[in-house]
Structure 1
Amino acid sequence: MKRFLTIDDIIDVLHKIKQRGLGFLLSKLNIYGIKRTEKTFNQLDYESADWWIIPKVKQRWNLLISGNKNLDYKRYLVENHLQNRKGLRLISLGSGSSHHEIELAKYSNFEEIICVDIAGDRMLEAEARSNKLNLKNIKFVCADFNNYSIPKEYFDIVFFHASLHHFDNIESFVESTIKNSLKTDGFLVINEYVGATRLQFPKHQIAKINDALKIIPKKYRTRYKSNLLKRKYYGSGILRMIIADPSECIDSASILPAIHSNFYTIIEKPYGGNILMNVLKDISHHFTHLDSKKNLILEELFSLEDEYIANNSSDFIFGIYQKRSPTKNIVHS
């Protein structure tokens, strides 16, 4: 059942005003959706308390993707799947601050990396960072994707890190734009949210998120830069999501079906997020530095998520997919 407005929406608005100021909220009243999206991603000084700031959570991702808590997916990609390839051309659509693309540009495997994003301030920031590192194989393009022309059969890799879920009409986008831009044996590489469209999670998932929230003592449930206590998770309403960022998870549930019908799977690694992303939202700052008690809390949360994704599709996936059929559809471990 779709939720149009929830208690979490009201809490989130109040919290955003405290974190980003009233001006940011007023910017969401712009009638042009693309401008609201641009404002969302152009704020450089925004600090969050989302699950990705927790080192132990990042180690969990690494372990589930590469089998090594100290080996992230980018190094794993290069060392295990691109190790014998040189002169590679990669395009990243919706690259944002381009941290991941800059890391990839440090590898000699890549001759050209093109980062495309609508957020001009972030593109300038990324370009300055790459210049400091003296990287010559990466460039940054500020553009609305709808007005950006991608050359056909030019790239070895089309890359998405937490950006594909911002694209609409996924089936058409994958089948035409992504597929056509790749060389015959090119790869699609994603590290993505592939869960419910507009975050309209089923009731049983919301119930499990609230079970997980009860594991956390109240003193670790105060929201970032606030005295508000996170008592319960109600889910996101569609109305607030559209007002905040019309592109957020606009067709995310279509991502994997579209990829599977157009590409061959080389590797696909689920790493959860169904419980952790939502239970830790706004309270992750309590777990960036761990003592024995906090460590046990995270371990208990991890176990709860493992139980859940054992019987349900993972909301987050790392995947490598090939345009051309290999000898047979091999799924590497």
Structure 2
Amino acid sequence: MRIITLDDFVDTYFKIIQRGSNFFFSKFTLNKEKRTKSAFDNTSFISSYFWNIPKVQERWNILITGNKKTDYIEYLTNHFLKEKKELRLLSLGSGICNREIDLAKHSSIFKEIVCVDIADNLLQIAAKSAKEKNINNITFLAENIDDFDFKENDFDIVFFKSSLHHFDKIDDFLSGKIKQTLKPNGLLIINEFVGATRHQFSKVQIKAINEAILSIPKKFRIRFKSTFLKNKYRGVGVLRMIMADPSECIDSESIMPAIHKHYKTVLEKPYGGNLMLSALRDISHHFYELNKEKEDVLNTLFKLEDNYLKKHQSDYVFGIYENRK
């Protein structure tokens, strides 16, 4: 376990450049809930996150659905739920609810979608979006998950979209509250980071990440909102992870073992991310709009990650699992 690394100081410096000093100082509070909320408060921030790259999204669509133009929401509604009616879905840690709103459009399938998140500002944006689209079968609750009433056999589906890795004591959580609120044979659906807890990647993974970084031409390694090059990834320290967001990947490596222990696998699609998450951090903005050279760079990264995944488990998984009661 790495307590602190050089990258902690480097990343903190660039966070201040990219998100401002107010964001930085928001981390200096003993209140864990406030630090967690601050990680999601800056809704105007235009990030350089790799998952926003259109070609990466196409790659993931292919790995999950087999079609670069079909995302997992369309795949889910058209293949697994199309014969279902009057479903109630609970989304925990729903954020801005973009995917939940997409699901709610299928009113013939979903009677109600309940979105719960601690970040009330994001839910306000989601509520406005739903109203503008005349979507009425979706409810937004701004509250801490610890305060939510998990009624028995209340939901047909529990949905985690990049939020389950923010929960602690995963085995107890999935075998307790989630199993309780799901109906018998109800579905647990995830689209999640399931890699190393607190991003404590192995030396093998860090070496592969650095090989991926060095495969990128220098002109595409200039960090977001700066003139500095990204040359190396050294790993992240646990202390900074906790300071930035106490909930970030707090027990993420327990997700898949817990699911396989307590639920029946209906569908499981690993889609990588092991190298790209760290290799493209702060330089993803170069690849939002592509020419042939940039496309070739991404294709090289994809091949490096595919080779890595031949011997290692994927850090990201889309899965559908059936409740066993």
Given the two structures, how large is their TM-score scaled by the length of structure 2? 0.98
| Structure 1 counterpart of 2:14 | 15
Q: What's the CA shift for 1:6? A: 1.1
Deviation per CA, 1:112-163, whole angstroms, max 9, x where unpaired? Answer: 0000000010011100010000101001000011111122101010000000
* Structure 2 stretches lacking a partner, 5+ long: none
CA distance in structure 2 between the aligned counterparts of 1:258 and 1:16, rounded to whole angstroms = 34
Amino acid of the residue matched to residue 284 of structure 1?
S
For the 8 Å contact 1:42–1:120, the answer to whether it is kept is no
Residue 94 (structure 1) aligned with residue 93 (structure 2): yes
| Structure 2 counterpart of 1:189 | 189
CA distance in structure 1 between the aligned counterparts of 2:181 and 2:228, rounded to whole angstroms = 47
CA distance in structure 2 between the aligned counterparts of 1:29 and 1:176, rounded to whole angstroms = 33
Q: What's the CA shift for 1:305? A: 0.3
Q: What's the CA shift for 1:324? A: 3.4
For the 8 Å contact 1:89–1:113, the answer to whether it is kept is yes
Q: What does 1:29-40 align with in structure 2 at a 5 Å threshold?
A: 29-40=28-39
Deviation per CA, 1:269-321, whole angstroms, max 9, x where unpaired? Answer: 00000011111111000011111111111111100100101110000000000
Q: What's the CA shift for 1:7? A: 1.5
Residue 225 (structure 1) aligned with residue 231 (structure 2): no
For the 8 Å contact 2:262–2:324, the answer to whether it is kept is no
CA distance in structure 2 between the aligned counterparts of 1:24 and 1:295, rounded to whole angstroms = 33
| Structure 1 counterpart of 2:47 | 48
| Structure 2 counterpart of 1:202 | 202
Amino acid of the residue matched to residue 70 of structure 1?
K
| Structure 2 counterpart of 1:145 | 145
Partner SS state of residue 192, structure 2 = strand
Residue 285 (structure 1) aligned with residue 285 (structure 2): yes
Deviation per CA, 1:46-105, whole angstroms, max 9, x where unpaired? Answer: 121011111000000000000001000011011111110010100000000011101111
Q: What's the CA shift for 1:39? A: 1.2
Q: What does 1:1-333 align with in structure 2 at a 5 Å threshold?
A: 2-108=1-107, 109-324=109-324
CA distance in structure 2 between the aligned counterparts of 1:26 and 1:295, rounded to whole angstroms = 38
CA distance in structure 2 between the aligned counterparts of 1:160 and 1:148, rounded to whole angstroms = 15
Partner SS state of residue 149, structure 1 = coil
Amino acid of the residue matched to residue 258 of structure 1?
A
* Structure 1 stretches lacking a partner, 5+ long: 326-333
- Number of matched pairs: 324
| Identity between Structure 1 and Structure 2 (%) | 51
- Deviates most, 143-152 or 197-206: 143-152
For the 8 Å contact 1:169–1:251, the answer to whether it is kept is yes
Runs in 1 of length 4+ with deviation above 6 angstroms?
Answer: none
CA distance in structure 1 between the aligned counterparts of 2:164 and 2:46, rounded to whole angstroms = 23
CA distance in structure 2 between the aligned counterparts of 1:30 and 1:228, rounded to whole angstroms = 30
Given the two structures, how large is their TM-score scaled by the length of structure 1? 0.96
For the 8 Å contact 1:62–1:68, the answer to whether it is kept is yes
For the 8 Å contact 1:190–1:320, the answer to whether it is kept is yes
Q: What's the CA shift for 1:40? A: 1.0
| Structure 2 counterpart of 1:328 | none
Deviation per CA, 1:174-233, whole angstroms, max 9, x where unpaired? Answer: 000111111111000000000000000000000000001111011100111111210101
Amino acid of the residue matched to residue 66 of structure 1?
T
Amino acid of the residue matched to residue 37 of structure 1?
T
Amino acid of the residue matched to residue 169 of structure 1?
K
Amino acid of the residue matched to residue 252 of structure 1?
S
